[in-house]
Amino acid sequence: MTYAPVVPFGGLAGWAFLTRTREAQKTAFASSPAVQRDEAYFRDRIGGISSAEELVSDRRLLSVALGAFGLEDDINNRYFIRKVLEDGTLDPKALGNKLADKRYLELSKAFGFGDYATPRTKLSDFAEKVLARYETQSFEQAVGDASDEMRLAMNAERELATLAGRDVSDDTRWYSILGSAPLRQVVETAFGLPRSFSGIDLDQQLAVMKDRSERYLGSSEAAQFSDPEAVQSLLRLYLLRSESSSAQSSPAAAALALLGQPGSSQGILSLLI
């Protein structure tokens, strides 16, 4: 049986509770028998894997590998994952370099099947590095079973700090945010952008992101997320807007909205009688 994280509230209250209890809950989750069995299997077998084909042929190993990078939903896309791994990262034309979601690039780089004659799976500390990521990502996934917004907030807290530290242009950082579905959802919600936003020209999206960031956070640069307080400011906006959106979509809110329309009280009364 796997420990189920406790998230008793939504919004800022839920985030505050999760922040206080995160380490204790994560330790309890990682100690669960099911997690321990998967980690032991990976630890025992990964050193014998020499190719992407061997990895994708072992579903249990692949599950841990993908889970470590938040790609667990791709467990059945074995040919695609094999292609990502075999292409490596050194060739600009490699699949991982072409994909907007850079989690695939990170996966390929971590395993090194397409970059080195001897893959990183042969390194003595490889298993522990991957398993550390696996525990973090799996715990976030388990939190997501209780609250999607908390999982997205935890992912953003971690990924934005990493992204801000990359040696790339600031525009590239913003494009990376736009290319990551989880980060995009958090930032779009925090900045009050509509669902249709992703349909406009990419350069226009970049300009809007910078403008909203300047307006709400005081800086147009994605590099600001190297400061934990800037990340927390963004997450507070995200959680407040998420909570507000949930409240507005509730049955009670819908009824109140109807009550605000001329003649609607009679219509609602007829439904209640």
90-140 confidence digits (pLDDT tens): 999 999 999 988 899 999 999 999 999 999 999 999 999 999 999 999 999
pLDDT at 264: 37
pLDDT at 255 over 50: no
pLDDT at 192: 95
DSSP string of 149-176, one letter each residue? HHHHHHHHHHHHHHHHTSSS-HHHHHHH
* pLDDT per residue as tens digits for the range 200-238: 999 999 999 999 999 999 999 999 999 999 999 999 999
pTM of the model: 0.79
Residues 6 or more apart whose CB falls under 8 angstroms from that of 151 comprise 140, 141, 143, 144
Percent of the chain surpassing pLDDT 70: 89
Give the residue from 47, 43, 75, 189 showing the smallest Cα distance to 141: 75
Cβ–Cβ contacts within 10 Å for residue 245, how many? 13
pLDDT at 248: 54
pLDDT band at residue 251, thresholds of 50, 70 and 90? very low
- Could you tell me the residue ranges of all domains in the chain? 11-141, 147-246
Listed range (189-193, 195-199, 252-256) with the worst mean pLDDT: 252-256
* pLDDT per residue as tens digits for the range 166-192: 899 999 999 999 988 899 999 999 999
Please name the fold of domain 11-141.
Answer: AGR_C_984p-like (1.10.3700)
pLDDT at 243: 85
Rounded to the nearest angstrom, the gap between the alpha carbon of residue 267 and the centroid of all alpha carbons in its chain is 43
Q: How far apart are CA 18 and CA 12, in angstroms?
A: 10
pLDDT band at residue 1, thresholds of 50, 70 and 90? low
pLDDT at 247: 55
pLDDT at 3: 87
pLDDT at 257: 40
